Amino acid sequence: MTERREEPGKFPFARGIHATMYRGKLWTMRQYAGFGTATETNKRYKYLLSQGQTGLSMAFDLPTQIGYDSDDKMALGEVGRVGVAISSLADMEQVFHGIPLDKVSTSMTINATASILLALYLAVADKQGVPWSKVSGTVQNDILKEYIARGTYIFPPAPSLRLIADIVEFCAKEVPGWNTISVGGYHMREAGCTAAQEIAFTLADGIAYVQTCVERGLDVDSFAPRIAFFFNCHSNFLEEIAKFRAARRLWAHIMRDRFGAKNERSMMLRFHTQTAGSTLTAQQPDNNVVRTTIEALAAVLGGTQSLHTNARDEAIALPTEESALLALRTQQIIAYESGVTAEPDPLGGSYYIESLTDQLEQQARGYLNKIDNVGGMLKAIEGGYVYKEIYRAAYEHQKAVEKKEKIIVGVNEFVSEKKLSLKTQKIDPKSEPRRRRELAALRQKRNATKVEKCVGTLERATRSSENLMPIIIDCVRNYVTVGEICKVLRATFGEYRPTHSI
């Protein structure tokens, strides 16, 4: 172990990005929630706001994420399932009806269609008379992990990166309070990768984004502070704590040494954490509360900026109200009762934690070097390297569980009969047909000449290097739908076809 004297709040930030950490300010408790229709979402948001919450979290259904309107053939069975369905400005207006956008911050889990959803949000702000300088929030806008693990890609990597850079550039000028990218390792970890791989692949994605923006001529310090991260917190308590520390140290060095960042805020790795859905079991579901507690504690000891704790039935069913509340209480107990917030990085200096941190940093560096050697993350993804690494690890894990080399309590050892009963998600069967009717009406009602004109402008712009954000905003203002915009983009950019082998 190297002898070092690292301090919280100082470069390279292994011990945390703030000197006082949670003594100064607790982490944000952000529970990802909400599906259903625009009206239901609106109602839910108003309730949450009335309870004192200021951060809204917005989940979209898969058609919205993949650029199909609710009435598209591809949307069969998916409308309003894993989030709210947004096809046009009318839907977005509905969601934020009576919610002043200068009073809330909205975090949107959206990637391939991030520019369109952001455009819709800004168009709503306009309608409310809220200036963009007063708008704040986040788009996930992290397409690379979609190719690897989550699958909501549309276009090939190059045009996707252009869209991302368009957002970054546009927001740096027009919407300074917007967090433009949330680089995620969460889904890759859920897909089965190891802790070291999670660090490496996430940071490699981050490097690719920063590189793209720098190549566009943006000053690194003008946008880097607006990039955040999103990690998983898995079951191996000490390893996870070390993982966060190692990731922070690596990123600080990457930003300073590789990209020449000058502003310390560019070097600080800020991150949101979610406890690991893949560690939850359908067998003996109460055990999941214990798992989540341990994972949440690791995230806090690892210095997270915000945290989502899973409900005991999350990721395998629809959380009941009671279990959702228990999940929130779990982090509240850690925050207010456990005492772990008293000191920044309380485990710093522990021989084991420090050596584990060094070890993970080393391993992650190894992967990063490999990725650099094949020509960067884009090449590594397209060549199938990352995918293979992750799914090989997932299969090895599965085999180890089946051979009982790894014990999962209640699954392959200490088994009892009690099983989680999976409840049905209540989705109105009439909602898909209703959406179809509404969209048909909208297409009738809107100004066809304007629609044609701005779609034409978009079409031309896709083939230039112009920033598409203002043009997309113009489209959505005229009620051009998400699906229609994506159709234009698909025509120019093409669609990504998976390249991995198995």
Partner 1 sequence: MSMTRRELTKLVTRLEAGVPLSPELYARTGNARILGITGPPGVGKSSLIDRLIDELRRQGKTVGVIVIDPTSPISGGALLGDRLRMQRHSDDDGVFIRSLATRHHHGGLTDATPQIIHALDAAGFDIVIVETVGTGQDEVEVAEVADTVVVVLMPELGDEIQRAKSGLMEIADVLVINKSDLMNAGAARQETRRPKQGQRWERPTLRTSAKTGDGITTLCHVADAHHAHLAASGQLAGRRERAARAEVIRLLQSRMTASILCALGASRPQTILSAVAKRKLDPYDAAQKLWVEILGSKNRSHKYVATNSR
Partner 2 sequence: MKRPIKVLIAKAGLDGHERGALVVAMGLRDAGMEVVYTGIRNTPEQIVQAAIQEDVNAIGLSSLSGGHMAQFTRVMELLKKEKIKGVLVFAGGIIPDADVKKLKKLGIREIFGPGSSIASIAEFLKKNVRSK
Ligand X SMILES: Nc1nc2c(ncn2[C@@H]2O[C@H](COP(=O)(O)OP(=O)(O)O)[C@@H](O)[C@H]2O)c(=O)[nH]1
| Closest CB 499 distance from partner 1, rounded Å | 8
User: What number of other Cβ atoms are within 10 A of residue 464's Cβ?
Assistant: 8
Piece of the chain touching partner 2 by CB under 8 A; list 124-132, 220-228, 391-399, 484-492: 391-399
User: What number of other Cβ atoms are within 10 A of residue 497's Cβ?
Assistant: 7
Query: Which one of ligand X, partner 2, partner 1, none is in contact with 77 (Cβ closer than 5 to 8 A by kind)?
Result: partner 2
Of the pair 340, 401, the CB lying nearest partner 2 is at: 401
Of the pair 47, 395, the CB lying nearest partner 2 is at: 395
Is residue 77 part of the contact set for partner 2 (CB under 8 A)? yes
Amino acid at 297: L
Tokens, residue 459: 């079409």
Q: What's the rounded Cα separation, in Å, for the pair 473 and 459?
A: 14
| Closest CB 282 distance from partner 2, rounded Å | 5
Of the pair 50, 424, the CB lying nearest partner 2 is at: 424
Is residue 73 part of the contact set for partner 1 (CB under 8 A)? no
| Closest CB 389 distance from partner 2, rounded Å | 13
Closest CA to 325 of 343, 341, 313, 337: 313
Q: What's the rounded Cα separation, in Å, for the pair 96 and 71?
A: 22
Of the pair 260, 375, the CB lying nearest partner 1 is at: 375
Closest CA to 286 of 254, 322, 252: 322
Q: What's the rounded Cα separation, in Å, for the pair 32 and 108?
A: 10
| Closest CB 502 distance from partner 1, rounded Å | 5
Is residue 417 part of the contact set for partner 1 (CB under 8 A)? no
User: What number of other Cβ atoms are within 10 A of residue 347's Cβ?
Assistant: 18
| Closest CB 463 distance from partner 1, rounded Å | 16
Is residue 249 part of the contact set for partner 2 (CB under 8 A)? no
Of the pair 104, 149, the CB lying nearest partner 2 is at: 149
Identify residues 146-165 at the interface with partner 2 (CB under 8 A).
146, 149-153
| Closest CB 220 distance from partner 1, rounded Å | 29
Maximal C-alpha separation, the chain: 70
With CB atoms as reference, the residue minimizing the distance to ligand X is 499
Is residue 66 part of the contact set for partner 2 (CB under 8 A)? yes
| Closest CB 321 distance from partner 1, rounded Å | 41
Amino acid at 281: T
Among 47, 352, 395, 414, binds partner 2 (CB under 8 A): 395
Is residue 159 reached through a cis peptide bond, with omega within 30 degrees of 0 on the bond before it?
no
Asked if residues 129 and 147 have their Cβ atoms less than 8 Å apart, the reply is no
Of the pair 334, 377, the CB lying nearest ligand X is at: 377
Identify residues 459-498 at the interface with partner 1 (CB under 8 A).
497-498
Of the pair 358, 382, the CB lying nearest partner 1 is at: 382
Strands (E), 299-452: 306-308
Sign of the CA dihedral 32, 37, 38, 41?
Answer: negative
Which ranges in 375-481 belong to alpha helices (H)?
A: 377-382, 385-402, 431-445, 448-462, 469-477
Residues forming beta bridges with residue 59, ordered by sequence position: 109
Asked if residues 276 and 240 have their Cβ atoms less than 8 Å apart, the reply is no
Among 50, 51, 416, 424, binds partner 2 (CB under 8 A): 424
| Closest CB 400 distance from partner 1, rounded Å | 18
| Closest CB 468 distance from partner 1, rounded Å | 22
- How many residues in the shown chain lie near partner 2 by CB under 8 A? 47
Q: At what angle do helices 237-253 and 351-373 cross, to 10 degrees?
A: 50
Q: Give the interface with ligand X as residue ranges (CB under 6 A).
A: 384, 499, 501
| Closest CB 399 distance from partner 2, rounded Å | 8
Cβ-defined contacts of 15-19 (< 8 Å, 24+): 15/245, 15/303, 15/344, 15/345, 15/348, 16/248, 16/303, 16/344, 16/345, 17/248, 17/268, 17/269, 17/270, 17/303, 17/305, 18/344, 19/344
Is residue 425 part of the contact set for partner 2 (CB under 8 A)? yes
Q: What's the rounded Cα separation, in Å, for the pair 352 and 238?
A: 9
Eight-state DSSP code of residue 340? G
Query: Which one of partner 2, partner 1, ligand X, none is in contact with 411 (Cβ closer than 5 to 8 A by kind)?
Result: partner 2
Eight-state DSSP code of residue 498? -
Identify residues 279-308 at the interface with partner 2 (CB under 8 A).
281-283
Tokens 């693990």 -> residue: 149
Q: What's the rounded Cα separation, in Å, for the pair 336 and 330?
A: 10
Q: By the criterion CB under 8 A, which residues form the site for partner 1?
A: 497-498, 501-502
- Under the rule (CB under 8 A), what is the footprint of partner 2? 62-63, 65-66, 68, 74-78, 81-82, 146, 149-153, 190-192, 278, 281-283, 315-318, 391, 394-395, 398-399, 401-402, 408, 411-412, 421-425, 427, 498, 502
